[in-house]
Amino acid sequence: MALVTFLLLPGGFILYLLYKSYTQDYKKFLAMQISNCMENTLECQEPIDLKCVSGKLPIWLNGIMYRIGPGIFNIKQNNGTTYSIRHAFDGLPVVHRVVIKGDTQQVTYNSRCTANSLRENIKAGSRIGLVFFGHLPDLSFFSWIRSFLSRVDNYIIRPTPRNRSKPDGLSVAVTPTPNFPLPVRWNKDNTLSEKVLVAKTDANLLQKIHAETLVPERIFNYGTYNAELDGMFSAAHHQLDPETGEIFNFSMHLAPVARITVFKTLKDGSTTILANITRRRDSKQTRVNTPYIHSFYLTKNYVILPESPLVYKDKAVNMLLQGTAVSCMKWLENTPTYFHIIRRNLDYPGQNGHIASIPAPEFFTFHTANAFESKDPNGDTILHLDCSAFADGDIIYQVRNFGGVAVKDLEKETTKFNGFTYPPQQQVDFGDLVRHTINLPQQKLVSVDTLATNVEFPRIHQQYASKPYGFVYGCQLMFGDYSTIALVKVNMNDGPILRYCERGYSCSEPIFVPHPNSEHEDDGVLISLANHAKCCYLVVIDAKDMTEIAKFEIGEFNPLTFHGSFVDYHFKSINLS
């Protein structure tokens, strides 16, 4: 008994010290959570016909839009209390499916929460081992011990079993991708539906969802394709070459040293490792940090990863302590953003395709728009890299109330906490659409040009991916006595910027759908969800002049969706996230 006591006391003392570390910054992290709870998104599991409010669909517009986002924030537990998730990014995911039939002027809608087993666990009072983006779990000492030890077990000691959990046992809520290639060994698995829909997030986590009923079918990760791809993080946005069908992404290990493994996946699900990045390609061969990368760039010959100063500090140990990703993030002030350039095609298997690490003035991007190559008069390869760029990492805290009611708090006295402005300020605009131009043979940044201000969620005509292009579509935050998220069309050739802006409407990321017989890059429509006065609408916008063509009422709720994809009626990929 004395021996057991001797062994337990040091362990208990260590846990107490860790708990004190956890509580030290607890109030600071609370500041990033919204003060009022967000409302749940209503589920509509059986398809319903939508009412046309105005206009008429183009007869050629036939296909399916998928959107995904956090939707379940308040969960009534068995003991009668309500568990409220207090960060906009952390609600349990709801997938939306909109079937558009322009030839018959019909639109149908269905949706489903894809983490119902997780919801049942929370109902039962079990939140053990959960890791959120920004929401903080409760603070009681014994609850914290159980959660902390469970996270250590799930993410360090036994990371593999979490990928064999129930198909709806984890939260995957950022990007929905139809026709995503599945692992090679699944090809003969008759339990999988023929039409493929996969949800992704910034963790190395994928969820196979039935393309019609939206019922989750499997949880897996990139390690299922290749054992080398079992790092903790990946990008929610892969890059697709629409001509070859190749998909590109990375897997990032945090320990024992930072390692970013860049790979491509073919249509049959086979993978090729393009590079293992542990050091920058500079004169000192300095070690890479562990950056938060939500998306990246692709050109005809290169994959380009932005290593911004927004990093997971201390190998993300604080994520195990706090149960939130943001708690372990830090902005390294006065530190360059590095463009890591990796060859898409290797001369021989096992070659390291990492050829350059080019510094640029510090910035962070959630979303890249496009990238392409050209030649200068000397024949040098020039890379043009377009993204929505933020000058610092403050957006990570500001998104706590994304899509909610905006309240100005700029008068507050601020300081710095982990390199972020604290207390976090209300977001009043988006990042700027910026082009970084690089001379590859000289490994030098040539210029940084702002193409438009206050533009996020950039999307393009998918057939122009990795090619010179003329238009970017996105969202603009219009802040005043009311908050509006407008749709915007940016002419990349110094033409006018056009907007679709309705007072009090918050539009989601636009998806460009080209006319099947289009002769011009902007010959098509944008489709988006628009929230207004407790009601959600499907809006169809003419991509040429940004005027509304049609509007359909979905229901009396305001879903929060991040990203979407569109396939035609034959399930052919048209524009994927």
Q: Residues marked as binding?
A: 237, 294, 367, 563
Burial of residue 161 (CB within 10 Å: 0-12, 13-18, 19+) is exposed
The residues pairing with 25 across neighbouring beta strands, listed in sequence order, are: none
Helix, strand, or coil here: 372? strand
Alpha helices in 33-152 (DSSP H): 116-123, 141-152
Phi, psi of 490 (to 5 degrees): -105, 120
Q: Residues forming the annotated binding site for Fe cation?
A: 237, 294, 367, 563
Phi, psi of 20 (to 5 degrees): -65, -40
- The H or E element that residue 24 is part of is helix 2-24
**Is the omega angle on the peptide bond into residue 256 within 30 degrees of 0, that is, cis?**
yes
DSSP state of 29: H
Burial of residue 310 (CB within 10 Å: 0-12, 13-18, 19+) is buried
Residues 6 or more apart whose Cβ sits within 8 Å of residue 488: 452, 455, 473, 474, 475, 476, 497, 498, 499, 500, 546
Structure tokens given for 322:
């706090």
Contact present, 433 and 369 (Cβ < 8 Å): yes
User: What is the rounded distance in angstroms from the CA atom of residue 363 to the CA atom of residue 392?
Assistant: 6
Structure tokens given for 169:
């046992």
CA 450 vs CA 296, 336, 368, 466, 493: distances in Å: 18, 18, 14, 20, 12
| Distance in Å from the first CA to the final CA of the chain | 59
CA 568 vs CA 97, 159, 514: distances in Å: 13, 38, 11
With vertex at residue 154, the alpha carbon angle to CA 11 and CA 323, rounded to the nearest 5 degrees, is 75
